[in-house]
Amino acid sequence: MRIAVLDDDEDARDLLCRMFERARIEVECFGRGADLLVATFKGFRDGRPFGLYVLDCALPIFDGVTINQILKLAESTGSFGRAVVIYHTAKDKTMQNSGLLESTPYDHYLVKPEGTLQLLDLVRKYLAA
């Protein structure tokens, strides 16, 4: 299963990518939501979709919540399989108070930096399923 990581913080993104690569998990990392969307739809077209997304919620323009909404819309057409969505964000109180998290289903919500320690085990669990 291919996974995608979206984080606009270059250091955080590099850390996550190296962590997954060292665990021999096929990962592609993105700093901009628009680039992730392009790769997502190319993956669908080419028969190599991402099966799991690790999304930062606080990005300009296409943030993790918006990406998830687009994924759920695509899944609702029946043309695409369901992907696992894990929010991984530093904006704990802001996101919880915004009401955005309730707008679209997701699988897990982890807060940086504490949740980063749980992330690899969580991804491995989904890959083994």
Q: Where do the structural domains in the chain lie, given as residue ranges? A: 2-128
Report strand pairing: 84-89 vs 108-111. parallel
- In this prediction, residue 20 carries a pLDDT of 96
pLDDT band at residue 80 using 50, 70 and 90 as cut-offs: confident
**Has domain 2-128 been given CATH number 2.60.40.10?**
no
Per-residue pLDDT, 56: 92
Q: For residue 51, what pLDDT is reported?
A: 95
CA distance 42 to 45: 5
pLDDT tens sequence across 3-29? 999 999 999 999 999 999 999 999 999
Distance CA 13, CA 30 (A): 8
